[in-house]
A and B are shown apart, each in its own frame.
Chain A
Amino acid sequence: MRGPWIRLGFLLLVSPFVFLLQREAAAHDPPSVAKGAQRREIRLPVEDFSLADQTGKNFRFQSLKGKIVVVSFIYTTCPDVCPLITANLRLVQERLTAGERGGISFLSITTDPEVDTPNVLKSYADRYRVDFSNWSFLTGEEKRLQRVWKIFSVKVERKARGLVNHTTLTALIDRKGMMRFAYAGAAPDPKAILEDLRRLLRSQ
């Protein structure tokens, strides 16, 4: 009979401390729109496509068959999430061992072909100190890009020149051309991507 009263008393005693602790934790949380991305495991075949890379050369997705590919969608004048995506993927690239680098490629595909010419993409990548040995930045005619965005279910909506709303997708594709992991959101965690990449490297 005394049990519920003891529990209630305990709750009444403890709850102010829990409330204070939560408030303290919230006060230390930096204000951020980018609290990581949602990770999903999927199995989706990726069709071949061809675009132009940052040097203007033709690039075919099929040419990466046998490699694990990290695909992201960005545009160079993006004022919020794209810098986080590219910076985090740059960290992933940096943390790969020399042996791992040979088996992994990165593709950043623009969502704003009107502004993002090969030269503009090259300058963008240079500012992030990207190693181009396994990372290409892709652009092309709007029609071609629309097909690529559709393949990856990326929605793109132009708001103004150099200002685009788009799905923030980072996808990991296995050696057989199958999308296996999808990170939807602003800042895909480099640690989680590295773990998934290593899992794909081990599994095939």
Chain B
Amino acid sequence: MLIHRLSLLGLLALLLAGCGSSERMEKIYAERCLGCHGPSGKGDGPTAASLPNAVPDFRQTIQRRSVSQISGIITQGKEIMPAYGPALSGGEIQDMVLMVRFLSRQDRSLEWWERFGPLVWAHCSVPWEVVLGYDEPEEGNKR
């Protein structure tokens, strides 16, 4: 009984966490964010070293911010970070928000992925955006 409850709790935690990373989100992150924020959101992208200000580590900044705050920064920009509002659709901004939230939770070593990879993979195979409802990018902005 206890095992059943624990498994249910585990499944619920995974559901709440959301898989986070889809191919579309990763593509937009790679195109628009990775240069400064780096592949894992630690602020160590190839351009970061040349910027006048240090690029924050998502794991330290994103956790404290609400979805609308993160969305606001991506839309309106901050200091020298570009404002993506004029260029991207609501769906694309949402993709970015989800991706940075996903990366902010990533402090997992390679061993973690080796151990739990199949479980994460199985969870990620569920089309959560269809199950939970998701904003598709506007037709004009699809690439």
One digit per residue, 1 when the CB lies within 8 angstroms of any chain B CB and 0 when it does not, for chain A 178-193 equals 0000000011000000
Within 8 A of A (CB), among B63-120: 76-84, 86-88
Query: In the complex, what residues of A have CB within 8 A of residue B32's CB?
Result: 77, 79, 163
Within 8 A of A (CB), among B31-84: 31-33, 35-36, 44, 46-52, 76-84
- Given A31-B46, A32-B46, A115-B86, do A127 and B35 touch, yes or no (CB 8 Å)? no
B4 in the interface, Cβ–Cβ < 8 Å?
no
B50 touches A34 (CB 8 A): yes
Q: Which A residue's beta carbon lies closest to that of B143?
A: A160
How long is the Cα–Cα vector from A127 to B27 in the complex, in angstroms? 26
B7 in the interface, Cβ–Cβ < 8 Å?
no
User: Which secondary structure characterizes the binding site on chain B?
Assistant: loop
Query: In the complex, what residues of B have CB within 8 A of residue A24's CB?
Result: none
A76 touches B83 (CB 8 A): yes
A161 touches B141 (CB 8 A): yes
Query: In the complex, what residues of B have CB within 8 A of residue A123's CB?
Result: 76-77, 83
B35 touches A79 (CB 8 A): yes
B49 touches A127 (CB 8 A): no
User: Which secondary structure characterizes the binding site on chain A?
Assistant: loop
Q: Which A residue's beta carbon lies closest to that of B36?
A: A79
A161 touches B88 (CB 8 A): yes
How long is the Cα–Cα vector from A32 to B36 in the complex, in angstroms? 10
Central interface residue in A80, A115, A163, by most chain B CB within 10 Å: A80
B47 touches A77 (CB 8 A): no
B78 touches A84 (CB 8 A): no
- Given A31-B44, A32-B47, A79-B35, do A162 and B52 touch, yes or no (CB 8 Å)? no
Q: How far is the CB of B82 from chain A (nearest CB, A)?
A: 5
Central interface residue in B46, B84, B86, by most chain A CB within 10 Å: B86
Query: In the complex, what residues of A have CB within 8 A of residue B82's CB?
Result: 76-79, 83, 124
Q: B residues engaging A (CB < 8 A)? A: 31-33, 35-36, 44, 46-52, 76-84, 86-88, 141, 143
Q: A residues engaging B (CB < 8 A)? A: 30-35, 76-81, 83-84, 86-87, 91, 115-117, 120, 123-124, 127-128, 160-163, 186-187
